[in-house]
Chain A
Amino acid sequence: MRKLLLFLTVLSVGVIFLGRLFYLQVYSGQTYSINEDNAIRKVFHYPKRGYVYDRNGELLVANQPSYDVMVIPREVVPLDTLEFCSLLKITKEEFLKSFNRAKNYSPRLPSVLLAHLSKEDYAVLSEKMRKFQGFYIQKRSLREYQTNIGANVLGFIAEANQKIIEEDPFYKMGDLIGKQGIELSYENDLRGVKGVKYIQKDRFNRDIGPYKAGKFDVTPEPGKDITITIDAQLQEYGERLMQNKRGGIVAIEPQTGEILSLVSAPTYNPNLLVGRERSRNYTRLYNDTLSRPLIDRGLLRMHEPGSPFKALIALTALQEGAIDVNTTIRCNHGYVYGRNNRKMGCHCGGGQRNLNSGISKSCNAYFANAFRKTIEKYDDAHEAMNIWSDHIKSFGLGNFLGYDLSIGKKGNIPDGAYYDKWYPDFRWGATTIISNAIGQGEVLVTPIQLANMTAAIANRGYYYTPHIIKTIQGQSIDEKYTTRHETTIDKVHFEPVVQGLYDVFNKGTANFLRVPGIEICGKTGTAENFTKIDGVRTQLTDHSIFVAFAPKDDPKIAIAVFVENGYYGARWAGRIASLMIEKYIKGEVTLKQMEQLVLDKSLEDEYLKPYSGEPFTINQ
């Protein structure tokens, strides 16, 4: 027994020690990471962010140096706050607020104390910096816009937030990251590789040389320059035409799917979101809930397509053999259908209508008939609707297009199941859903979907996924943007429809929009819309919609224009489309009178009507 006391004590101590070691090193010890080691100082070198050029090589976005004052709270020794604050040009309260925020974030990690010093302040401060232990100046690169246009496309960069920092170890507090537009989509190419130097510290926090002779150091690599598909001239022109109006213009090169311009109105100057004023300006833009300049209407504004959709009704009807080129019907200023002789009105003027005049005069009756025949071809409306829906969706409608900007809307193309859900106890049929025939009803699209649909028609049956990227520093772009998407409509059916769209300009609803020397095909559209004023559903002036492509036989541009509350399609959207097409194809605009008319037009009054609190008239 006496022999055992020390023996057992030694054994227990051994076990306790092993347990303690296990606790310290295995249980609570994390896997070792040089980045977490506070015996190692990390010095970052931010590379040049990639430049952005337009399709013609015009520089749109460059960089400017920016200097942030950083702080590592744990390393701060008592300092002459008064002197420091006067150097930084801030008050002591501001300093303390910022310092405490940094301390709360982390005492041992660097935080931004003051962002974006001016060059003059930097020059003065950098000489005195060594007096203030725990503070240092971090050079970063901010954007410098060479242009005032395309804010919605270019996007902006801003400090990475807490969530991003936690998820992606690449980003540290104060790092900048693309937040919208191409800055977001091509962040990984634009940002380059951040340089890091690891420096061994001693316990007095002095640098004692490179850690492992710089074995782990990362050399900075500049970000890649990118060229985007936007034509800056066209974009600028589109933004000018859309001044004082709300809506979007999307222009696509049909043969490639390249987005030539993506206008959203109202817009803002991208320079507003750079530097010290960034967050104040952002808040102001964000809080403008009336005109919502941060919303990209070209990508996000869902609306009924209106009459341009008739082109697809015609194509599906032809494909399904529900009509042929020679099918005619008589329009009696409307289309009467159903048991109760319900009537859909028509403004085409009435008379005999065939496919060509049906399109060019935008005859509702003709397309109601074509749609009805397409659906009624099948015994089962559910099945018919699915077949119809698949045809329509093959034009890129009803789902995300897959373009390289991070925002979008699916839109809506109803199918059989959709209406089964709507009418669970009711045998719905073609006449129940006849509004779809004229692009009303349940169909919803975004301007970019409409432009892509137009491009598919211009190509006579295929499209490329619209995209904004042209090249990334010489590299070829993602294969998904160079893959042809075929529609389900045979090529032969396109020619008569294209001819009809051509005649819209020749003898139809857009004959006053002709551009000398360019054969344009297009289609007007007018969409009714409603809002709620004090809980009462109130109709507002119609949206003006127009789609077009040109030249007819070798399409270079397909365009969709959407002007909120612009009244009928040809009025504003049509004019803007013609001007854009002329601008792009000829490089200059000869329709000066039309141009002036559009530039001078402001719809602000129209937009204020619902808020005026007084009765108002619409569609004037």
Chain B
Amino acid sequence: MRSNRHTSLKLDWLSIILFLLLVGFGYLNILSASASGEITSYFDMSQPYGKQLVFIVFTLVLIVVVIAIEAKFYERFSSLIYLISILSLIGLFLFGKTVHGATSWYAIGGMTIQPSEFAKFATALAVAKYISDLQTNIKDIKHQLKTVLIILVPAFLILLQNDAGSTIVYAAFFFVFYREGIPQIYLIVGLGLVILGVSSLKFSAVPTAVGATILIFLYHFLVHKKKKRIFQPILLSLVSLVFIFGVQLFYNNILQPHQQDRISLWLRLEKDPVKLEAMKKNILYNLHESEKAISSGGVTGKGFMEGTRTIGKFVPEQHTDYIFSTVGEEWGFVGSSIVVILFVLLIIRLLHLAELQKSQFSRVYGYAVASILFIHFLINVGMVMGLIPTVGIPLPFFSYGGSSLWGFTILLFIFIKLDANRLNEW
């Protein structure tokens, strides 16, 4: 009893309160977005809001279980958890159910489970375990490659299942690696590649290539002043050139048409007004409606269960990926700002806690949790507000869906447990 009490006191209640606020507010918006007509029962299992309430109840049980398990378990069994997760992803190729073109679900009875939602915390555990291993030196290229491999396996499997959105989430681990000490050059190269890629699409390949080459040589001769070693800038330029044309090739030949259109709209590549109009009608419909719903909310919103665009179901998939538009419409600027602030607070709190960890395992894991939540938040809210291209991933704790709610809950509470245990480490 005493030790239990002791542990509970050390739980980070701020994170837990932020978590509960997000889940609770999320539920209210799901209720609003999915209710049609009279609500007969809040546990109406034929409606998303009924199911979500059950998911939330089950989540509370899950939290107790996650907290109850001894902290050392997660480190010790991380490899096993990772392995099971990978197997569950592979299993999808045999038993998976396809929804909206993505083969990401197991159908068990009346329920569906999406293993990719659980693969996130499994991968985070595996990465934390590997990096915190005393034999691992993150500055060593071999170890870097191995770490990346841990991420690439699930990411690649998910991509094969045609769920590109969930694949992008694994980019979150870059923040983890950077924190753990991979060379600065990766950040520079990473940023450089992003700029080159966008520029290649936006301004076409040749001008980008010329511009990049000029910049590289200018830097080499004027800043570095190593006039004799001409080999380095040439190599760098060649790599850039390959990348620039590679992006073009990837965009034109590998991306599917709907993905091309999303990027094209985002970068405003299409100049033909007729085609643009058609694209907007097809692709932009969701975005257009979601932006309008948010905008129509004004400062204080139309009120809970009173959003006319939500009631009229103008935004497709509103209770899942587009849930934030309900917040915008019904709770206005005030409500949506509060959600944004809650997320920022939670992520920063997690970062802060991660830095306080004494064990590297806990720190790396905590950092991974914050990074994954951040990427979801960035992509989902950014997409719903029309800031970034459409990528279908849920808003953590907020969007409808059992797997995603449970996945994120486990992800978060393992860290809360690790954190609660940090004083008992040694």
Contacts and interface: CB of A to CB of B under 8 A. Distances in A.
Interface of A: 2-3, 5-7, 9-11, 13-14, 16-18, 20-22, 24-26, 28-32, 34, 37, 39-40, 200-203, 208-209, 211-212
A202 to B, nearest CB: 5
Given A16-B387, A21-B340, A203-B315, 7 more contacts: A2-B181, A6-B175, A10-B344, A17-B382, A25-B333, A26-B298, A211-B308
4 smallest CB-CB distances across A and B, nearest first, come from: A14-B344, A39-B308, A25-B333, A39-B312
B312 A6 contact: no
Interface string B381-392: 110010100000
Interface string B337-367: 1001101100110010001000000000001
Contacts of A3: 179, 355
Interface stretch (B104-112, B157-165, B288-296): B288-296
Contact of A21 (B37, B175, B328): B328
A25 B336 contact: yes
Given A17-B381, A18-B337, A203 B344 contact: no
B308 A24 contact: no
Given A10-B351, A212-B306, A203 B340 contact: no
Interface in B184-223: 187
B143 interface: no
19 contacts: A5-B179, A5-B187, A6-B178, A9-B175, A11-B344, A11-B348, A13-B382, A17-B340, A18-B340, A21-B337, A24-B294, A24-B328, A25-B299, A25-B332, A34-B308, A37-B296, A202-B312, A203-B315, A211-B308
B350 to A, nearest CB: 10
Contact of A17 (B37, B181, B351, B385): B385
Contacts of B308: 34, 37, 39-40, 200, 211
Contacts of A212: 306
B294 A21 contact: yes
Nearest to A6: B175
Nearest to A203: B314
A22 B181 contact: no
Interface residues of B, number: 48
B309 A26 contact: no
Contacts of B123: none
Given A21-B336, A24-B294, A37-B296, A6 B181 contact: no
Contact of A14 (B289, B295, B315, B341): B341
B102 to A, nearest CB: 24
Given A2-B178, A21-B337, A31 B298 contact: yes
Nearest to A202: B312
A203 B295 contact: no
A83 B294 CA distance: 42
A202 B296 CA distance: 16
Contacts of A24: 291, 294-295, 328, 385
B103 to A, nearest CB: 28
Nearest to B345: A14
B146 interface: no
Given A28-B295, A39-B314, A21 B374 contact: no
A26 B337 CA distance: 12
Contacts of A26: 298-299, 333
A10 B333 contact: no
A10 B294 contact: no
Contacts of A209: 37
A17 B327 CA distance: 14
Given A24-B291, A40-B308, A202-B312, A29 B296 contact: yes
A17 B187 CA distance: 24
Contacts of B344: 10-11, 13-14
B299 A5 contact: no
B97 interface: no
B302 A32 contact: yes
B311 interface: yes
A203 to B, nearest CB: 4
A16 B387 CA distance: 10
Contacts of A2: 178-179, 181
A20 B382 CA distance: 9
B328 A25 contact: yes
B313 interface: yes
A217 to B, nearest CB: 15
B338 to A, nearest CB: 10
Contact of B296 (A14, A16, A21, A32): A32
Interface centre among B309, B371, B382 (most CB of A within 10 A): B309
A201 B308 CA distance: 8
A211 B341 CA distance: 33
Contact of B178 (A5, A201, A211): A5
Contacts of A37: 296, 308
A583 B371 CA distance: 98
B297 interface: yes
B71 to A, nearest CB: 24
B179 A29 contact: no
B141 interface: no
Contacts of B295: 24-25, 28-29
A28 B333 CA distance: 12
B297 A203 contact: no
A509 to B, nearest CB: 75
Given A2-B178, A3-B179, A39-B314, A22 B351 contact: no
Given A14-B341, A20-B387, A212-B306, A203 B312 contact: yes
Nearest to A212: B306
A275 B295 CA distance: 42
Interface string B306-330: 1011011111100000000000100
B287 interface: no
Contact of A25 (B298, B343, B378): B298
A20 to B, nearest CB: 5
Contacts of A5: 175, 178-179, 187
Contacts of B340: 14, 17-18, 21
Contact of B297 (A13, A29, A208): A29
Interface string B32-55: 000011000000000000000000
B370 interface: yes
B370 to A, nearest CB: 7
A28 B299 CA distance: 11
A31 B341 CA distance: 24
A11 B344 CA distance: 7
B328 A202 contact: no
A18 to B, nearest CB: 6
Nearest to B175: A6
A5 B302 CA distance: 38
Contacts of A211: 308
Contacts of A40: 308
Contacts of B381: 17
Nearest to B302: A32
Contacts of A11: 344, 348
A377 B309 CA distance: 81
A28 B178 CA distance: 39
A208 B333 contact: no
Contact of A7 (B302, B314, B351): B351
A539 B338 CA distance: 83
A248 to B, nearest CB: 55
B352 to A, nearest CB: 9
Contacts of B371: 6
B26 to A, nearest CB: 17
Contacts of A18: 337, 340-341
A76 to B, nearest CB: 15
Given A6-B374, A29-B296, A29-B297, A21 B306 contact: no
B377 to A, nearest CB: 8
Contact of A32 (B187, B298, B328, B355): B298
Contacts of A31: 298
Nearest to B306: A212
Contact of B312 (A13, A20, A29, A208): A208
B358 to A, nearest CB: 16
